[in-house]
């Protein structure tokens, strides 16, 4: 079936490049920074099992849905939704889906850039040899010094945001293609080196058990000691929501990033095969990061639930002790920055593509128009770790950073993903989705349609209801 539209922004030069770009979007801070720390905070194995189930039953079908919608519309998510609403004669309210995604991406970018700034700061700390002979105490002091300095966090946040705007301003294709081809495999190789180090020097058995032995009671039972001395336990669905939200976050789903990359995908490439490759790479990166970090955590008596600073307080110990650690450490943080960079680009691209299409803007002012306000919002996240960390600056018991993270990852992305699944499964005609997936009418297509119509949306709804206590 021929394409029904073409993209004014150009196309990836091959399907392989689409996969690279999508892996670049998916693999980022979510895998290496966030996955280990939320796994640590949520008790390990059982959380990982729920996360993997969400990836398989929700992530895979919704990624296929998002790519197919993008490729069919061939425009920014906002205009793609307009076009498909017209094609399918759907209710005009569906057009808001594109806007929801743009808003979500903008909010995520605001704090993503702050954390990427930490990684940037660590490139120079590693390079200066500051990790040599590090122990639990010295790494925590070093990290604390960064958090306590709003000026330096602001400076790194600014540098990262400028880097992101610079690439998007030139067009995602130039540069990105070649860089991803070399740097992504390098990041994987370095993760493997770290896992080997953890195997040799860390408490690997305990780390792996923490990651893979599911103890469902530990994760889902929340017990309190009452005044009477009796322990009262109840089921808590919160970790379910966090695992679900993270499945969306780590795969870049639910806000149009994968949709906009799909709109640049060559018409003849297989969406199902690309999806499986992207998901496999993303999951591998997260599990490798977990396997590298937790053995070091346990061998050094660190706290798995240390929170957002976890990787910055564990990996430097490893780099400080391993032969060639200064080089490996520097390289690792360079690659982490790069992984974050390719993700940030995809966070901003849906909005920039829309400004170019609808406002006739050139890419440079369009990138500025989105990046500058995201930078301003990011200042709130910078201050969340120092001047605004106190209770008087908290909303619902959360700092600004926690709030934006919670709202985007646990509410807006799953909501966007739910609507994408409903649109692809219920609103789009069979002919349209089958034509775009190009996998005939066999088991593959039917399984996808069943999952996207009945399984993924219900699971998202059930987890939502559960988390707000209605189920």
Residues near ligand PHE (CB under 6 A) are 25-26, 28-31, 108, 249-250, 252, 255, 257, 343, 346-347
Closest CA to 286 of 55, 19, 41: 55
- 3-state DSSP call for residue 13? coil
In the complex with ligand PHE, which residue's Cβ is closer, 59 or 295?
59
Q: Which pair of tokens denotes residue 341?
A: 């960079």
In the complex with ligand PHE, which residue's Cβ is closer, 83 or 116?
116
Closest approach of ligand PHE to the CB of residue 28, in Å: 3
Give dist(CA 36, CA 189) in Å, integer.
18
Closest approach of ligand PHE to the CB of residue 253, in Å: 7
Give dist(CA 75, CA 240) in Å, integer.
34
Place of tokens 């059930």: 462
Burial 272-290 (b: 16+ CB within 10 A, else e): bebbebbbebbbebbbbbb
In the complex with ligand PHE, which residue's Cβ is closer, 112 or 375?
112
Closest CA to 318 of 294, 349, 348, 346: 294
Closest approach of ligand PHE to the CB of residue 285, in Å: 9
Place of tokens 């194995």: 45
Closest approach of ligand PHE to the CB of residue 413, in Å: 7
Task: Quickly count: other Cβ atoms within 10 Å of residue 239's Cβ.
Answer: 22
Give dist(CA 324, CA 311) in Å, integer.
19
Closest approach of ligand PHE to the CB of residue 27, in Å: 6
Residues 6+ apart with CB under 8 A from 297: 40, 207, 303, 304, 310, 314
CA dihedral (173, 179, 185, 191) positive or negative? negative
Give dist(CA 421, CA 390) in Å, integer.
40
Give dist(CA 247, CA 57) in Å, integer.
10
In the complex with ligand PHE, which residue's Cβ is closer, 108 or 420?
108
In the complex with ligand PHE, which residue's Cβ is closer, 134 or 409?
409
In the complex with ligand PHE, which residue's Cβ is closer, 123 or 259?
259
Give dist(CA 291, CA 311) in Å, integer.
12
Closest approach of ligand PHE to the CB of residue 113, in Å: 12
Let me know: does 73 contact 5? Beta carbons within 8 Å.
yes
Q: Compute the C-alpha angle 123/126/131, nearest 5°.
A: 150
Residues 6+ apart with CB under 8 A from 22: 252, 258, 261, 274, 278
In the complex with ligand PHE, which residue's Cβ is closer, 203 or 405?
405
CA dihedral (17, 18, 23, 25) positive or negative? positive
In the complex with ligand PHE, which residue's Cβ is closer, 29 or 102?
29
In the complex with ligand PHE, which residue's Cβ is closer, 262 or 325?
262
In the complex with ligand PHE, which residue's Cβ is closer, 38 or 130?
38
Closest-approach residue to ligand PHE (CB): 30
């Amino acid at each position: 079936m021929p394409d029904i539209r073409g993209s004014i922004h150009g196309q990836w030069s091959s399907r392989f490049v689409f996969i690279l770009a999508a892996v670049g979007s998916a693999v980022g801070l979510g895998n290496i920074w966030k996955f280990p720390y939320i796994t640590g905070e949520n008790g390990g194995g059982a959380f990982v099992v729920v996360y993997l189930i969400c990836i398989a039953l929700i992530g895979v079908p919704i990624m296929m849905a998002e790519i197919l919608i993008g490729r069919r519309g061939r425009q920014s998510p906002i205009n793609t939704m307009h076009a498909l609403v017209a094609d399918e004669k759907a209710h005009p309210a569906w057009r808001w889906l594109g806007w929801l995604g743009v808003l979500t991406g903008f909010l995520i970018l605001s704090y993503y850039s702050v954390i990427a700034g930490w990684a940037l700061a660590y490139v120079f700390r590693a390079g200066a040899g500051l990790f040599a002979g590090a122990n639990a105490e010295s790494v925590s002091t070093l990290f604390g010094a960064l958090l306590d300095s709003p000026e330096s966090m602001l400076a790194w946040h600014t540098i990262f945001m400028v880097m992101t705007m610079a690439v998007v301003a030139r067009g995602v294709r130039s540069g990105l293609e070649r860089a991803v081809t070399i740097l992504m495999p390098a990041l994987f190789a370095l993760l493997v080196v770290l896992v080997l180090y953890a195997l040799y020097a860390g408490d690997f058995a305990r780390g792996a058990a923490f990651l893979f032995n599911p103890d469902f009671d530990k994760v889902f039972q929340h017990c309190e000691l009452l005044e009477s001395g009796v322990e009262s336990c109840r089921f808590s669905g919160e970790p379910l929501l966090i695992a679900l939200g993270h499945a969306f976050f780590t795969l870049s789903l639910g806000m149009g990033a994968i949709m906009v990359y799909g709109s640049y995908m060559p018409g003849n490439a297989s969406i199902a095969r690309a999806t499986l490759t992207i998901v496999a790479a993303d999951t591998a990166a997260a599990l490798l990061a977990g396997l590298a970090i937790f053995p070091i955590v346990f061998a050094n008596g660190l706290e798995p639930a240390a929170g957002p600073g976890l990787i910055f307080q564990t990996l430097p110990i490893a780099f400080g002790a391993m032969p060639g650690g200064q080089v490996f450490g520097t390289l690792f943080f360079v690659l982490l920055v790069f992984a974050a960079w390719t993700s940030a680009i995809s966070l901003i691209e849906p909005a920039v593509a829309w400004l170019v299409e609808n406002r006739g803007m050139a890419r440079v002012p369009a990138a500025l128009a989105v990046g500058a306000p995201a930078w301003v919002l990011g200042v709130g996240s910078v201050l969340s770790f120092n001047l605004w960390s106190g209770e008087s600056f908290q909303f619902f018991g959360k700092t600004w950073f926690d709030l934006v993270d919670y709202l985007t990852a646990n509410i807006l992305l799953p909501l966007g993903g739910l609507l994408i699944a409903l649109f692809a499964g219920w609103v789009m005609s069979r002919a349209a989705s089958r034509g775009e997936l190009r996998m005939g009418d066999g088991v593959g297509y039917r399984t996808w349609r069943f999952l996207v119509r009945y399984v993924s949306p219900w699971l998202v709804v059930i987890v939502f209801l559960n988390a707000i206590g209605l189920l």
